[in-house]
Chains A and B, each alone.
Chain A
Amino acid sequence: MPEHKAKIQEANIVIRGNFNPQIFQPYWFGIQGLIRKEEVNDANVKIIHPDIASFSLGWMVLEVTRDRFLLSTSQDAYTEVTRDLALGTFTVLEHTPLKYLGVNVSKHFEMINEEQWHALGDILAPKGIWKDLFHKPGMRSLTMEESSRPDGLKGYTRVTVEPSVKIHPGVYFLVNDHYSVKDPESVTGAEEILAILESEWYGSVKRSNTIIDSLLEVI
């Protein structure tokens, strides 16, 4: 591919643990100084409920349930800001038990033509063994996993490749860099996940981009 510029991209941070969704209101973030005062006023609040809280600002979407915290941005300029917001949130809520962390990068790329689009599928999932079974086999989704992390931490890395449903002909990549605390059942605070987020985030995003670029290089 001549140019590896994603048409659509998203970076998100998913944390699994025990949360009180009602806390996660724009006003609370404003009081803590984690977002701008103007953003508190302009926030698009979708729901604040004991079981689920969801609001968005111009650059991010937040959704929290009792066991899941999601912070997402589709604007590349705000990926670091999004990471900082997660760090700041649980620095304040330091006694929140956090068990797992996902640093996720997803991108949609436009392919030059359908031939190139099919070529990527053929390289990643050769059709030889399917020829006698299907008339016209095609790859819908492929997930590869590295089940031991290169950094020695608990967790895994999963890469999913699918035809994009946003762009045609296009391809969709998702890299899920999953981290776990040493003992998820006995964790009592946010410290371990925060340390991972702080120390591993840049490396994780860089690795995700390298993986995606490398896969695009094959065609």
Chain B
Amino acid sequence: MSFLTDRPIDLPALHAAVQAPERGGVAAFVGLVRNHHQGRAVLRLDYSAYRPMAEAECARIVAEAQARWQVSVALQHRIGSLAIGDAAVAVVAASAHRDEAFAACRFLIEEVKRRVPVWKRECYADGTVAWVDPTAALQHA
């Protein structure tokens, strides 16, 4: 399964990929497109990626999580034009117990956001568009 997909994210498939009889806990995080950003009404998000590096970086993140915890993990990021409420990213982690599943799940989403080369352009209700720059939002916070 590729880490990037042009189709809707299949959360049950991710869940099935990590499930096993010895793993009693599954933690999942799903990031959805929201309808506002810094006070502006958002209609749509267009995601793009440096695909070969994004695939390689996701593989490295998965390997790191599985080396650090006794977990099985999976993740997908959607690319293309997404509507409000669409799932943009999903990460799942399964372990024998919940502590490791939660820890690995949190690690996965934070590392994906920090390291995977994906960009999004927001299309606003007033007809304008802008590339999202999370570092600018931090400076203005």
Say if A and B assemble together: no
